[in-house]
Chains A and B, each alone.
Chain A
Amino acid sequence: MKLPPYAELLGLSVEPGADAPVLVMPFSGDVVGRPGFLHGGAIGGLLEMAAVGALLQALDAEGRAKVKPVNVTVDYMRGGREKETRAKGTVTRLGNRVANVSAVVWQDEEDRPIAAARMNFLIVR
């Protein structure tokens, strides 16, 4: 997965996965909101990138399809603390023109997410 400039700003690195890559965001002052907590925008941006990563991996077998985000809904469940953060997307449905993708972001345990997102994408083949 080739990361865009915005992912570099967040400091992201990629851990390959069988179904989808895991994106890792180190803690830094660049992703802080109010003191002691991650910024909701940085969390949302990370979730979107994880969703795109999962979708591109699912589409990889099909060549150079492009994806356009139509919308995102983010649920913030716990405050993000000053530590490393991971995110992973899941393609719920891959259609010809539309994909439904979810993503979760966590810090300590994957089953205790700090936030989750649902996204709809338009697929341009």
Chain B
Amino acid sequence: MSQPSDPAAPPRFDPRAFFALRFPNHGSRLGVAHRDHGEDWSELELPWRADLVGQEETGVLASGPILALMDMASSVAVWLKVGKFLPHATLDLRIDYLRPGRTGQTVIGRCECYRLTRSIAFVRGQAHDGDPADPLAHVAGTFMAAEGYW
């Protein structure tokens, strides 16, 4: 016999549905989309676009959209680990730019929440543009939930 579902339990956070909604915000303006996720990690993508370029001569993406991608992938990883969506704030985000992205290539950002306390979430991740073994950026960050993650 199956257990009756608990009507009081909030639904699990579903990043696929979250990104399918396409809120009119900075993420959708950049074209960030869901790729994959697990229990404590998320993978988002940022397709190359001419209006995201930082150096017109080379066509290399600006670092800002990559920072935004990694901020979002980190945040989604935290919500997955917590099991639900809740408002939280980025405390700090550190990015090492390992190499420029390749013109025309989609950037893939994968982040995991490797430690969660009641008020702080710790994240880390990497971005690549096709080969995960050849990353273009590395990120480490912390988030804080004012009311606590649980």
Which A residues are closer than 8 A to B by beta carbons?
4-10, 29-34, 39-42, 44-46, 48-49, 68-76, 79
Interface flags for B66-100 (1: CB within 8 Å of A; 0: not) read: 01110110000000000000010111111111001
Residues of B in contact (CB 8 Å), total: 34
CB neighbours of B63 from chain A (8 A):
45, 48, 69, 72
Residue from B72, B89, B94, B96 within 8 A of A41 (CB atoms): B72
How far apart sit A48 and B65, CA to CA, in the bound complex (Å)?
11
Whether B71 pairs with A6 at a CB distance below 8 angstroms is: no
Number of residue pairs spanning A and B whose beta carbons lie under 8 angstroms apart: 114
| Minimum C-beta distance from A85 to chain B (A) | 13
Please give, as numbers and ranges, the residues of chain A lying within 8 Å of B53 by CB-CB distance.
Answer: 4-6
B64 and A48 form a contact (CB under 8 A) = yes
CA distance A5 to B50 in the complex (A): 7
Whether B93 lies near A40 (C-beta < 8 A) is yes
Contact of B26 among A33, A69, A70, A74 (CB under 8 A): A33
Q: Are B90 and A40 in contact (CB under 8 A)?
A: yes
Question: Is A41's CB under 8 angstroms from B68's CB?
Answer: yes
Residues of A within 8 A of B96 (CB): 70-71
Contacts A6-B51, A79-B89 given; indicate if A44 touches B25 (C-beta within 8 A): no
Determine if A40 and B68 form an interchain contact, defined as CB atoms under 8 angstroms apart.
yes
B51–A75 touching, CB < 8 Å: no
Determine whether the beta carbon of B26 is less than 8 Å from that of A42: yes
Contacts A/B (CB < 8 Å), 18 sampled: A4-B53, A4-B54, A4-B56, A5-B62, A6-B52, A6-B64, A29-B24, A29-B29, A32-B25, A32-B26, A34-B25, A41-B30, A42-B68, A44-B68, A44-B93, A45-B63, A45-B64, A74-B94
Shortest CB-to-CB span from B57 to chain A, Å, is 10
Q: Are A73 and B94 in contact (CB under 8 A)?
A: yes
Interface core residue of B25, B56, B61 (most chain A CB under 10 Å): B25
CA of A69 to CA of B66 in the docked complex: distance in angstroms?
12
Contact A9 B92 (CB under 8 A): no
